[in-house]
Amino acid sequence: MSNARSASKTTLIALYAVLAGYAILTLMPFFWMLITSFKTPTDVFKLPPSFKPSLLFTDEPMKNYTEVWVQRDFVVFFRNSAFVSFTAALGQVFTCSLGGYAFARLELPGKNILFAVVLVTAFVPVEVTIIPEFLIMRGLGWIDTFLPLIVPSFLVGAFGTFMLREYFSSLPDEYADAAYVDGASPFQVFWRVYLPLAQPALVSIFVIAFINNWDELLRPLLFLNSPELKTVPLGLMSLFSQYEASWTLLMAGSVISTLPLILIYMLTQRYVLQGFSGGGVKG
């Protein structure tokens, strides 16, 4: 018995050691990015590399962040990205919840074929559809507006539709039966019964859609021309030039752009884990 406990304890220690090593490797790029954001340009290329954030020991420890946020208009980029990401993610949650519920709970002719078509769209690269999408947006007069960044997110959500279909399918049928007995319509059953129960899955989809739209570079690069409409990824690109890059400012901008994603995941972590672990229990 003691040998078995010893072996189990050794295995647990080894497992934690592996996980700790993986965590260090994963966090190291962010740690280096954070340190570099508090350096001067000359300190970036020192050999051997230094882990000392030299600006923290000066009279202007936040110099890089102040320059990025104010002088490089990151406050505008940040606001634009927040608006686009929040609106697009909210729209995707709405349409995916409708589609997922319809595929899971309603009897529709040919719904399995239609659902397969929706899933196939998840495997189509954006590079295949971006030219027709650009022509459509130009024909609608939406170039240099936020609409090309927001509207497609309302209409394209194969993963979210699949996830909510599985979640709604896992919820007990008795909820719907009781609601129908009370005289509820199909939409009322969806809106008042099943949608509140799917809160973890809805939050998970919102977080994923928010991150995807926050990190989107190709569509803003194609559809936005005005400086006052640019998003954070375009703002980071502006720190590069043909011959040089402002690495300290780039790292400071990268930290600023990463913090909202970390914050939103920390606030919703419990719901995200519940959303990916499945729905209700049949019975």
241 band by pLDDT with thresholds 50, 70 and 90: confident
Flag whether the pTM goes above 0.75. yes
Q: What percent of the chain has pLDDT over 90?
A: 34
Give me 229's structure tokens.
């409409």
Asked if the model's pLDDT at residue 162 lies above 70, the reply is yes
Q: Identify whether the C-beta of residue 159 lies closer than 8 Å to the C-beta of residue 79.
A: no
Cα torsion angle, 128, 134, 140, 143, sign = positive
**Mean pLDDT taken over the chain:** 86
Cis, bond preceding 233 (omega within 30 deg of 0) = no
Asked if the model's pLDDT at residue 277 lies above 70, the reply is no
